[in-house]
Structure 1
Amino acid sequence: MSDRLKNKNIIITGASFGVGLELASLCANRGANLVLLARSIEKLEQIKHELEDRFSVSVFVYKLDVSNSDEIERIFLEIKNELGHVDILVNNAGFGMFKEADHISLDEVKAMFNVNVIGLMACTSMVLPWMKERRSGHIINVASMAGKVATPKSSAYCATKHAVLGYTNSLRLELAEHNVFVTAVNPGPIMTNFFTIADKKGTYVNSVKKYMLTPVYVAEKIVNCMLTQTREINLPRWMNAGSVIYALFPRAFERIGKRAFNKK
């Protein structure tokens, strides 16, 4: 096992379940000190005690709703005072709703953008000056295959993930001269409680269940890329091949894939 993460300071948003929780466990196992952020402080406290007991690392937890920019600024300044610096930020928090464009409310759209895009940008903007000053760091943004291949019944969600990819790609260029790495993570559907909100009827989950990724598999791929100059992580590979075909032959891809897309 690589000791690249030993004694590094890593912030993970959306750390109370799913990929975020698996990331916390894997990073602690490699000797990293953690800052775990989520809306449920009770879950975070439980995770903190378990990880500190198992791995003898320092784990700090904060209740944070990433849609609240003022709260982000306050908590990240506390983190800076506590740790001194941040080596890695994993922007993992996010949620989605699968509804047709004329069925989703503007409030629901705003809520998704506030968490998936604005919250991600706000967290990133807090750590950027610290990383640039030290000429070291890694920003990892969990986007989605939905940011590469638009599908029906998820127009607003796809829009948020397209925005994350645009932001991430621009940020990578901005930070190249500062020796700060930027990685986009684009997973397909993952077996988490994400779908309790996104797919309340269970239609989409039932149609893609056999293709769904496990949280630990995605987390392992992310941890293995930490502090390396990895541009993107695309999972699974065959789905990423579809995104390449979509970019080259969008009309044919949409025509052929229409039946599968509408299973949502």
Structure 2
Amino acid sequence: MASGIFWATICLLILLGILSLDIMGFFSRGNKFKVEGRTVLLTGASYGMGRELARLLSERGANVILVARDLTKLQAALEYAKSSAKNPSTQRFTIISADVSSESENARLLAEAATWNNGELPEIVWANAGSSIPQLFIETSIETLRQQMDLNYWAAAYLAHKTLKAWLYPNTPYSPKEKSAKLEAPRHFIMTSSATAFYNLVGYSPYSPAKAAMRNLADGLRQEVLLYNGARRSSKSTDQAPAPFDINIQLIFPGTIKSPGLEQENKTKHPATFAVEDSDPEQTEIECATVAIKGLENGNYMTPTNWLVELMRISNLGGSPRDNIIKDTVGQWITSIAWLFIGPDLDSKVWGWGKKEGMQAFKQGK
């Protein structure tokens, strides 16, 4: 037994040493998200994190298609993105007004994007649109519950379905000769989820199930595209070659962002929700967007935008791929113990609020 404990300790120290070196940047992975000269379609681009993402993509040399509903805000976001263009003389920008919660609108915006992009679908598509209406579940109307699912899940699902189908089965099939051709740079389909996909806090039940569903969808899509990525390398001859590029599915998980969206959320947020998230870290829009882009450049499948969401990710990995085997493995050991204290503390705060305020503090369920 003593020998086993000794070697287990040695292995743990080695793991921690490798983790420390990785955190300090000794293991460079290179940029896995090169966007210069490529076209990015970004939904939810008119304000908040989306507006900053458009600017950062412009700063890195991308051609950007900004999508949202409000044309006035879109035009302002367009000018903001263009002002940071890396190559002002060659980069291109446009806007598309669309309600992405509609299936037909997703088809239309992709068609318009392809037409503008010289007949080619953008190489990078980012489903970033979303908004939260935090309320207690039974105090939320069924109409609002459906709207939350439409915008925060179905908008991304519609866009993923139509984008992946168009990438993999274009109107003009790839010739079999392209099987042996050199792979093009990977395409990226990215979805912006939420910290609440990992843990549903009191008051977020109208919103977080949609983001959890998005995460689950991404896990499935990440495996499904491996079929096509593998078929690209097959020696078997068929009438149509697989697409001459790999496809990456990736997720972003923001926490609390200081933005107009947060101000709107706070208008409907239950006092108990404020109580349980009062110590959560907050980020500015640009801080959140910067971390998101950095995670993509590192090649991460899941990118939380602050330390608290990172701990939530590590403790909820399940069968999802590990972006860093050492950190995620050690982190799961630690967070599994931490949740023994975090969970009861959150429950106690909610129970205590109810005990103190009583039923008179609640609305009648609709």
Query: TM-score by structure 1 length?
Result: 0.88
Q: Does 1:104 align with 2:140?
A: yes
Which residue of the other structure, out of 186, 191, 199, is the alignment partner of 1:149?
A: 199
Q: 1:145 & 1:125 partners in 2: Cα distance?
A: 24
Match of 2:18 in 1: none
Match of 1:70 in 2: 104
Match of 1:86 in 2: 122
Match of 1:4 in 2: 34
C-alpha offsets along residues 190-245 of structure 1, whole Å, 9 cap, x if unaligned?
A: 11122233220565569637721111112112223446632100232234324545
Aligned length, in residue pairs: 263
C-alpha offsets along residues 6-65 of structure 1, whole Å, 9 cap, x if unaligned?
A: 111001111011110000001101110000001111121233234335421211101111
Q: 1:241 & 1:50 partners in 2: Cα distance?
A: 33
Whether the 8 Å contact between 1:11 and 1:88 is mirrored in structure 2 is yes
Whether the 8 Å contact between 1:86 and 1:127 is mirrored in structure 2 is no
SS of residue in 2 equivalent to 1:213: strand
SS of residue in 1 equivalent to 2:206: helix
Which residue of the other structure, out of 64, 75, 90, is the alignment partner of 1:34?
A: 64
Shift of residue 258 of structure 1?
Answer: 2.0
Shift of residue 175 of structure 1?
Answer: 1.2
**Aligned pair in 2 of structure 1 residues 92, 152: CA closer, same or farther (>3 Å)?**
same
C-alpha offsets along residues 98-143 of structure 1, whole Å, 9 cap, x if unaligned?
A: 1111101100000011111111111122211343368731111110
What root-mean-square deviation, in Å, do the aligned CA atoms of Structure 1 and Structure 2 show?
Answer: 2.8
Q: Specify every segment of 5 or more residues in structure 2 that has no aligned partner in the other structure, as ranges.
A: 1-30, 175-183, 230-245, 318-335, 354-366
Q: 1:157 & 1:36 partners in 2: Cα distance?
A: 24
Q: Does 1:254 align with 2:343?
A: yes
Q: 1:46 & 1:242 partners in 2: Cα distance?
A: 35
**Aligned pair in 2 of structure 1 residues 30, 242: CA closer, same or farther (>3 Å)?**
closer
Q: 2:163 & 2:297 partners in 1: Cα distance?
A: 15
The answer to which of 121-130 and 89-98 deviates more is 121-130
Q: Specify every segment of 5 or more residues in structure 1 that has no aligned partner in the other structure, as ranges.
A: none
Whether the 8 Å contact between 1:171 and 1:182 is mirrored in structure 2 is yes
Match of 1:164 in 2: 214
Whether the 8 Å contact between 2:129 and 2:152 is mirrored in structure 1 is yes
Whether the 8 Å contact between 2:280 and 2:308 is mirrored in structure 1 is no
Q: 2:200 & 2:216 partners in 1: Cα distance?
A: 14
Q: Does 1:230 align with 2:300?
A: yes
The answer to which of 68-77 and 129-138 deviates more is 129-138
Match of 1:193 in 2: 260
SS of residue in 1 equivalent to 2:159: helix
Q: 2:146 & 2:340 partners in 1: Cα distance?
A: 30
Q: 1:238 & 1:94 partners in 2: Cα distance?
A: 21
Q: Does 1:17 align with 2:67?
A: no
Shift of residue 150 of structure 1?
Answer: 1.4
Whether the 8 Å contact between 1:172 and 1:182 is mirrored in structure 2 is yes
Shift of residue 153 of structure 1?
Answer: 1.3
Whether the 8 Å contact between 1:195 and 1:205 is mirrored in structure 2 is no
SS of residue in 1 equivalent to 2:139: coil
Whether the 8 Å contact between 1:72 and 1:122 is mirrored in structure 2 is yes
Report 1:113-128 matches (<5 A): 113-128=149-164
C-alpha offsets along residues 72-111 of structure 1, whole Å, 9 cap, x if unaligned?
A: 2112111112211311111111011111111011000000
The answer to which of 125-134 and 93-102 deviates more is 125-134
